[in-house]
Amino acid sequence: MVGPAWSGAEYPERTIDRDCWLFLFWAAGYTETDATGRGRPAKLPPEPVVLWRGCVPDRRLGMSWTSDRGMAEKFAWNELRGRPVGRLYTCRAHRSLLARIDGPMDRGEAEYVINPARVRVSEVEDSEHR
């Protein structure tokens, strides 16, 4: 139930501190939510997953990422929920993957939850939005 609890919070890292979330995800093991919104144990993808995050620079090391670059761009460039204009970041995640949120819980965001301390995050240059 860790993935659905994460997804049910609008700002999960403001609700529970990161160390607590990391412990909960560690205890659950890697999970994926199914079509009913329930978290299920799953095997890690066989290869690293390219992930994206759109946010202001101070939040680039957050736990919530997406496999959908277009969605991350919306978060980066003020197209969702009145967020401030940010930047686009990417990483390749594998052992850092904690959960994939899918089905009714993902809000169409193609969300992955990761341990950001275990990835190298790069900013994507985009002169159109600078």
What integer pLDDT is reported at residue 79 of this predicted model?
61
Decide: 62 and 13 in contact? Cβ < 8 Å.
yes
What integer pLDDT is reported at residue 77 of this predicted model?
85
Residue pLDDT tens, the chain, 130 long: 788 788 777 789 888 999 999 999 999 999 998 777 778 899 999 999 999 999 999 999 999 999 999 999 988 987 656 667 889 999 999 999 999 987 655 567 889 999 999 999 999 987 455 5
The pair of structure tokens assigned to 65 is 């990422």
What integer pLDDT is reported at residue 42 of this predicted model?
94
